[in-house]
A and B are shown apart, each in its own frame.
Chain A
């Protein structure tokens, strides 16, 4: 298979993840669709409010939907979903937005989908930690105050974590733990996709 037949969506994703194309025969249009469906499936179970749209997108990609009007309707539904008041539903809406294009004309499709799903994984990790919106707000209030300094001088960036620890040790400990697990979850899905590209999940 020549490089001309490599799916542009997969080529972009490879570039984003730094995956060396060891087997170009596994990067055609069918592989791109299979990868997208695998990525969407990896976000299951879907929140009830998102389920219909996610299922419709999954079916549209799997069946090679060719009607532009249907894709346009899916995009409108995805945007409505991403504006949902519930953060988890809203993040699934971002996933839906990214997936709401036929891959044949979407170089950005898989890369946008990757980032959107990573954000879902990160949010879910944060919820699992018991890290709440109130915790986040409290941490940012303290960090902002520290970063402002005493009005005359501002602390060095590297000193900020230690100053946070001094100000509120318990919150800082939970903040640092949450940050670590959220980053791990985010990067974890990138690694799963990189492994798929390398042939692990086919």
Chain B
């Protein structure tokens, strides 16, 4: 399995916007010192692979991209932000299992279809 996750190390979302196209975006704000972020990393890898056609995933280090983290009001890590069409559509603060994260994505994708 190869990871399709983008790493954003600046303060622009242009790389994920360009890569995502019409797909939902999952922005994963974390930090190198964050234990729960490390614990959750395999689950993020798994969903990035299994949702590759529908969701674009980017990891963002809140210290390397502090202005970006501030612009999203990130106060704790991990913070997961779901974004579509330039708008935030959902967020979760704290660790999630793969099952819970998949449920969040499924629900958001279903809502998107309902609104389309």
Question: Which residues of A are interface residues toward B (Cβ below 8 A)?
Answer: 8, 12, 75, 78-79, 94, 97-98, 100-101, 105-109, 111-112, 115
A78 to B98, CA, bound (A): 12
Chain B contacts of A101 at CB under 8 A?
46, 98-99
Flag if A97 contacts B42 (CB, 8 Å). Answer: no
Flag if B1 contacts A8 (CB, 8 Å). Answer: yes
Instruction: Label chain B's interface by main secondary structure.
Output: helix
Flag if A79 contacts B99 (CB, 8 Å). Answer: yes
Chain A contacts of B99 at CB under 8 A?
75, 78-79, 97-98, 100-101
Question: Which residues of B are interface residues toward A (Cβ below 8 A)?
Answer: 1, 39, 42-43, 45-46, 49-50, 97-100, 102-103
Flag if B103 contacts A107 (CB, 8 Å). Answer: no
Chain B contacts of A115 at CB under 8 A?
39
> Smallest Cβ distance from B71 to chain A, in angstroms?
29
Flag if A112 contacts B98 (CB, 8 Å). Answer: yes
Task: Select B102's contact among A12, A75, A107, A109, beta carbons within 8 Å.
Answer: A75
Flag if A97 contacts B97 (CB, 8 Å). Answer: yes
Q: Which residue of A lies closest to B38 (CB)?
A: A16
Flag if B102 contacts A108 (CB, 8 Å). Answer: no
Residue from the set B39, B42, B100, B103 with the largest chain A CB neighbour count within 10 Å: B42
Flag if A97 contacts B39 (CB, 8 Å). Answer: no
Flag if B45 contacts A97 (CB, 8 Å). Answer: no
